[in-house]
Amino acid sequence: IITKKHLTIMASVVIAIILCAVGSINTFANFNRKLPIYCVECEEKKVAISFDAAWGNDDTETLINILKEYDAKATFFVVGAWVDKYAESVKQLSDAGHQVHNHSNTHPHMPSISSTQKLDELSSCNQKIASVTGKTPNLFRAPYGDYDNATIEAAESLGMHVIQWDVDSLDWKDNATPESICKRVTSKVKNGSIVLFHNDADHTPEALPTILKCLKDEGYEFVFIDELIMKENYKNDNNGMQCKISE
C-alpha cells in the first residue's frame, strides 16, 4: 500500500535526482564555456588602454593628440562600417602609432547570427582595416561585449584572440562625468588590466588626460593589448584572466 508518506518520500527523491542532474549539466556547461581575455596575469605595472569605435568620429583626432602628449599607446577596435565612413581617421590612428583591430563589420549581437555570418563579420572587417593600414588585425572585440563559444571559435579559426576588458570606464552613460570616469578607471586598474573607452563618448576627452597622468605617476606603462597578452602556454581562468601555464 502506497501511503501519502511514501509519495512524499518518492517525490523528494525525484526532485533530488532532477536537481543533481541539472547541477551536473550546469557544471558541464561551465566547464566547456569558452571565455575571451578580460585581463592578463602580470607582475609588471602594465596596462592596456583601448577604445571602441562604432558610431561617431568627432573626438578621434583629439584623442590621438592626448595620447601623444602622454606618450600612451592605445588599441582601437573599429567596426567595418566605421572604416567605410572614416577611412582617413583609421589611417591617422595607424600613422600615429596606435593599433587598429576588429570590432565586427556591422556591429551585430554575435551570438544571434549564424556561423557563416560570424566569419563574414570578422573577415570583412579585417579586409577593410588591412586595406587602409596595411595590417591585418589579430584581435577581435565583440559588439556589446556579447559572445558565445561559436563566436570565439570563429575568431580562433582566423588566428584571432577575442578581447574583453576588466575595467569599464562607463564613459557612454548619460550620467557620466569626467570625474566619475576618472575615479572609476583609476580605482580599478591593476597590473595587466585592459581598460575600455569609446572614441565618441561625451566626456572621454576631458577625463583621459587626468587618467593617463595618474596612471603614469603610479608607474604604469601603457602597452598594446597585442603586447600584453600571451600567445602560447596560457589558459583563461574562470574570470577571463589570461594566466601562464606552468611548464
Instruction: State the catalytic residues.
Output: 52, 198
Question: In whole angstroms, what is the distance from residue 5 CA to residue 9 CA?
Answer: 6
Angle between the 87-95 and 115-133 helix axes, to the nearest 10 degrees? 60
Residue 46 pairs in a beta bridge with 221
With cell 592605445, the residue in question is 74
C-alpha grid cell, residue 96: 600615429
Cβ proximity of 126 and 136 under 8 Å: yes
What are the grid coordinates assigned to 145, written together? 561585449
- Beta-strand runs (E) in the chain: 39-40, 46-53, 74-78, 99-102, 139-140, 161-162, 167-168, 193-198, 221-222, 234-236, 241-244
Amino acid at 79: V
Q: Is 163 helix (H, G, I), strand (E, B) or coil?
A: strand
Backbone angles phi, psi at 46, to 5 degrees: -120, 140
Rg (the chain; Cα; Å): 22
Query: What DSSP state is assigned to residue 218?
Result: T
